């Protein structure tokens, strides 16, 4: 997949992809989600975390969000139900 293809799949510019690849910036929020879907991967693989079956914690997931500049106040606003949904999503990705 070319940078242009990826940019089109995510709905951003090719320059944004170049910035991510060079480390000058990182994908945030919805763009991160779209990137994972477009690349058919998960955040552990993308960020180089060890992938052990059923071994990613909610805290690791939150740390990855923070690395992508998701605002902490947004994370703190998650309801318990949303946290449970995220935990289930994580579980499904690691099975």
Q: What is the pLDDT of residues 46-81, one digit of tens each?
A: 777 665 554 566 677 777 777 766 777 777 777 787
pTM score, whole prediction: 0.52
Residue burial 16-55, b: 16+ Cβ < 10 Å; e: rest: bbeebeeeeeebeeebbebbbebeeebbbeeeebeeeeee
Q: Tokens at residue 78, please?
A: 């998650």
Beta carbons of 42 and 55 less than 8 angstroms apart: no
Contacts of 44 (CB under 8 A, 6+ apart): 50, 51, 56, 60, 93, 94
* More confident position, 75 or 20: 20
Predicted local distance difference test score (pLDDT) of residue 2? 92
Q: What is the pLDDT of residues 29-41, one digit of tens each?
A: 888 889 888 988 8
Predicted local distance difference test score (pLDDT) of residue 55? 56
């Amino acid at each position: 997949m070319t940078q242009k293809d990826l940019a089109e799949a995510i709905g951003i510019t090719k320059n944004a992809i170049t910035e991510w690849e060079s480390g000058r910036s990182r994908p945030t929020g919805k763009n991160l989600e779209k990137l994972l879907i477009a690349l058919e991967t998960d955040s552990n693989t993308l960020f180089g975390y060890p992938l052990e079956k059923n071994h990613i914690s909610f805290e690791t997931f939150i740390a990855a969000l923070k690395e992508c500049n998701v605002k902490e106040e947004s994370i703190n606003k998650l309801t318990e139900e949303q946290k449970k949904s995220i935990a289930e999503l994580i579980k499904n990705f690691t099975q």
